[in-house]
Chains A and B, each alone.
Chain A
């Protein structure tokens, strides 16, 4: 799954530890105003983006989250992907777990399948356009190879 599943997204504070701790592991990847985790965050400059007077640069930012809502429905950007491996992954009791090396092509966020115009969409947070971004970034993962122990 790409994102934080809905059960974890509504869990009580004592269960939000480690990477799900909003003031530690998930710091910067949690929306405190729209309680939920940010699944994908990309920010940067682009000649196509409008000038941000506060930052003094042509800034764009996409923060994508939304797990479907805790009481009433919201957009749901959770995605399940299946990655195929050409080599078997070995699990041995006496050894470390196999390592899966993913190849992630960030360009897919902007192109696959929908070409995104930064000029038109310099920012996206919790908004309908985030669905387009999520439908794109879900295509950026390739399982490149497996390191067996």
Chain B
């Protein structure tokens, strides 16, 4: 792999003089910027990833202590083998068995996001955890109390010491540790990636290559770059009435934003069903049927989904759909989905 190593390869010192957690990272942790990705958005130099910061962030991500009754952790809705999305759940399943109104997004390649959540309500990765912690349908905890619980714990102060040099647990340190864990969740080793980087393991079949060409013609205007999103907010015709969830409009209040949602990445798409902000579709076949013949009209429907003759959607034959799906399946990154550094 000829990837640029942005940060020095950091190796955890195993069995050093200072007291360490048993579950210390014993493998290398580094944020690797893949050759085929644009430069990251997140300011890594302001919060450099260290093995200790990563270990702390990971511990927090998997710890239900952040929820009101210590019943639910981030990882309950963001599961490693599903690219940190929530398999089989159309909408999120939170505290007290309550259901939210949106599908849990994958947590991968977060340092390239310009905004977070389906409506882009949060601009910076460091501010993301406050939202699920506070959300009454997710973890329902006051972040100030969550921090108090960490301060009283028998091991968190020493983990903060290892990561930041003193035992003090501040909002910034807490959030930066979580970002350090999430920043390392880079998925860029799918078969497609090996293909575009001309590495070994990059064999694509003629069907998959035909699918890639069709994808470029029909999908890439929104699912752009090798991150497969242009980070914009668009209405892809999922509904004609968005009163249940107005999308981007819920944070911007602008009428032109009703029904617009952030274009999602399609990486590991095979592993992140169900699809769309409301988890409406459980298969890629039904997603393509939607684009071909299910697009619904509304005032903010994206112009790219209105054909010159006034018909809605993206014309596709059955054969073309099969090829596009074959291509989408080459975006599965088994290395990432099975990475033991990230799993519990």
Contact = CB atoms under 8 A, between A and B. Distances in A.
Contacts of B114: 71
Interface in A104-141: 126-128, 130
Interface in B277-324: none
B53 to A, nearest CB: 14
Given A126-B253, A128-B253, A12 B46 contact: yes
B32 interface: no
A27 B143 contact: yes
A14 B114 CA distance: 19
B127 A32 contact: yes
Contact of A22 (B123, B135, B143, B254): B143
B122 A23 contact: no
Interface residues of B, number: 33
A35 B122 contact: yes
Interface string B151-182: 00000000000000000000110111000000
Interface of A is mostly: loop
A27 B123 CA distance: 19
B239 interface: no
* Interface range on chain A (Cβ under 8 Å from partner): 20 to 34
A78 interface: no
B131 interface: yes
- DSSP class of B's interface residues: helix, strand, loop or mixed? helix
B146 interface: yes
Nearest to A28: B142
A71 B120 contact: yes
Given A24-B171, A126-B250, 9 more contacts: A14-B172, A16-B171, A16-B172, A21-B171, A23-B146, A32-B143, A35-B123, A35-B124, A73-B252
Interface of B: 43, 46, 114-115, 117, 120-124, 126-127, 130-131, 133-135, 142-144, 146-147, 171-172, 174-176, 233, 250-254
Interface of A: 10, 12-14, 16-17, 21-24, 27, 30-35, 66, 69-75, 126-128, 130
30 contacts: A12-B46, A13-B126, A13-B171, A13-B172, A14-B46, A16-B171, A23-B147, A23-B171, A24-B171, A27-B143, A27-B144, A32-B130, A32-B133, A32-B134, A32-B135, A33-B131, A33-B135, A34-B251, A35-B121, A35-B124, A66-B253, A71-B114, A71-B115, A71-B120, A72-B233, A72-B252, A74-B252, A126-B250, A126-B251, A127-B253
